[in-house]
Each structure stands twice: as C-alpha cells, then as structure tokens.
Amino acid sequence: MPRFLAIGECMVELADAGNGLLRKGFAGDTFNTAWYARKLLPADWDVTYLSAVGDDALSGDMLAFMKSSGVSTDAVQVVAGAMPGLYMIAVHNGERSFSYWRDTSAARRLADDPAHLEGHLAAADVIHFSGITLGILTPTAGQTLVSSLHAARKRGAMISFDTNFRPKVWQGRKDAQAMFLEAARAATVILPGLDDEQAVFGPCTATEIACRYRKAGAGIIAVKDGASGSDVFWPGGHAHVPATAPAVIIDTSAAGDSFAAGFLALLASGADPVSAAQFGAAVAAEVVAGPGALVPLSGALAVHR
C-alpha cells in the first residue's frame, strides 16, 4: 500500500462560535495537508501523520479526530506529561490572525527518536514537511530530521517541502536561511510562498526562487502567490498557473496547505506539474470559500481519486 506521510505539529484550535463562546478544533499546516490528501488520494493509499502529543485528554481527543478523518496515527509518539500546542484564530474580511501558545508543545519532540523517525520515513512514498516543522524543532533535532529525509530521498521517495515561515515560531533564531537550504537539498518538490521567501531571503522573484532551489537539487518548484496564482518550474519548463476564483472568500486558512495536498496528490498519480497546480488551485478555491482550516470538499474534486 503506498503511503503519504506528513510531518509536523497539529494544534488545538479555538475559534469564535458566537455569543462569547469558542469552538474547539484541531489543525496545523502539515496536518491540514494530510487531511486534504486523505480526501484526494485514491482509497488504497495510506495517509499517516508523524508528530508527538501528550498523554492528556486534549491529546486523546486530537488522536481520535485524526483517526476519524482517516489519517493514521501510528507514527505519533505520546510523550508522558506533555500537552499539545494551542492557538486562537480571528478572521476579519476573510483574512485570519492567530494567537499561539506552543512553547511547550509535545510536537517539538517529534525528532527526538531517530530510529522512530527513520523507520516511518523508510516506509513512505511521499513525505511532506514545512518551514513550521523545522521552526518548532531545536537546531539539532532539525538536522536529525533533514538527515533522515536525505536517506528517504536516496531510497526514491518524493520529498515535499513547503517553506511556510512564521517568525514567531523561529523565536529570533537566525538560521532559517541555512535550514531552508538544508531542507531543500533533501527535497524533490518545493512549494515556496513568495511572501515567505521574501521574509527569509529578502526581495526576490519567482524565477530567482526557482533558481535557488534548483541549485539545491529540487526537480519541481511551485512558487505560490495567493490570488495571483503560482509559477511552476520543472526540468526544462516553466508555466504560470492562475488561481481559481473562489465563489466567495470566507476564510483563507489552509489555502496553501490544501493547494499542497491537491498538487502532491496529482503528482503522485503521475500527472504533469501544470495539471497538478491547476488541481491544487481548484482545491484551494473551495477551501477559502468555507470557514476554518478543514472544509468538506465537493464531489467534483473526487473525480481525481
């Protein structure tokens, strides 16, 4: 059975439910991609999340939610005495802002056991991680993860790196550039956000970003630029793929995460990068038209299963 493995942090999400009440949910960039990948990949694919959680009730609820979504938790370690991270979301005119409580998140321990990490990566056909995954880890743990990813790439796995950059996650660390380039050397597919790249590397264009990651060894690069669409680069080619216009913009949470799921699902099926980007754009358009990070998808997208 082919396996899609996403690596990172799933958090407890608190969102406004009206009347002064909050609604509890679970989300996080790479988990969101796994959740959508489960909806989009053929049924014979296994979708697994690799992370760490605590042994508290919230962690138990989180694991139960993952399982109910069809995402395997076999690679999630339970850390005694730990708890998951938490964030509160606010949305204004479709744009979201966050308040985080994640300094002691159990997910920061996801690479503490190299044997556990390497064992699960060895069983995966597609592996997805992000700049947030790197940011929550210590520099030593980040190097452990990247080393394991190098081994998985040599074995033939598709390694996807979404360069999601959140300054607060890096807590003033100055090694984001170096870690991004190290991660890129392990990746075969890179999904940079134009804003993220400019925040980490300074002013740059999509073409300059693609050149940087081609030199690192990536084969396919899709530079995301929100409503402007994406620029897709592959060996010998480049195309601009316009964004799909959503029916309405309710909440832009997980737009990039869902694009990644659609893009990778089609690449894994053997589709060309332009078709994959077009499908990713269609998925993202449905997602931003609904509230929250995890939005049910229409049957029109299931034709690609």
Say if pTM beats, i.e. exceeds, 0.85. yes
Tell whether 126 is covered by a domain. yes
What pLDDT shows up at residue 135? 97
What pLDDT shows up at residue 16? 81
What pLDDT shows up at residue 95? 64
Tell whether 166 is covered by a domain. yes
Average pLDDT along the chain: 94
Torsion of CA 159, 164, 169, 174, to 10 degrees: 80
Segment 59-69, tens digit of pLDDT: 999 999 999 99
CA 290/CA 22 separation, integer angstroms: 18
Tell whether 68 is covered by a domain. no
Residue 303 has pLDDT above 60, yes or no: no
What pLDDT shows up at residue 89? 79
Number of structural domains (the chain) is 1
Tell whether 48 is covered by a domain. yes
> Which tokens belong to 61?
């609820």
Residue 195 has pLDDT above 70, yes or no: yes
Tell whether 74 is covered by a domain. no
What pLDDT shows up at residue 231? 98
CA 276/CA 279 separation, integer angstroms: 5
Tell whether 19 is covered by a domain. no
User: Quick one: average pLDDT of 154-181?
Assistant: 95
Tell whether 134 is covered by a domain. yes
Residue-by-residue DSSP string for 41-101: S-TTSEEEEEEEE-SSHHHHHHHHHHHHTT-B-TTEEEPTT-B--EEEEEEETTEEEEEEE
Residue 94 has pLDDT above 80, yes or no: no
Q: Which CATH number is 173's domain given?
A: 3.40.1190.20
* 257 flagged as catalytic: yes
Strand blocks (E) in the chain: 3-7, 11-18, 21-27, 46-53, 76-78, 86-92, 95-101, 126-130, 158-162, 189-191, 220-224, 230-234, 237-241
* C-alpha to C-alpha distances, 200 to 66, 116, 176, nearest whole angstrom: 32, 31, 7
For the four alpha carbons of 126, 132, 137 and 143, in that order, the dihedral sign comes to positive
Please tell me which residue in 74, 195, 257, 272 is annotated as part of the active site.
257
Identify any residues that bridge with 190 across adjacent strands, giving them in sequence order. Answer: 161, 221
Tell whether 120 is covered by a domain. yes
Confidence of residue 17 (pLDDT cuts 50, 70, 90): confident
Segment 208-267, tens digit of pLDDT: 999 999 999 999 999 999 999 999 999 989 999 999 999 898 878 899 999 999 999 999
Torsions phi, psi for 194 (to 5 deg): -60, -45
What pLDDT shows up at residue 125? 98
Torsions phi, psi for 177 (to 5 deg): -55, -50
Residue 35 has pLDDT above 60, yes or no: yes
Residue 92 has pLDDT above 80, yes or no: no
Segment 117-163, tens digit of pLDDT: 999 999 999 999 999 999 999 999 999 999 999 999 999 999 999 99
For 170, the domain range is 3-8+28-52+112-292
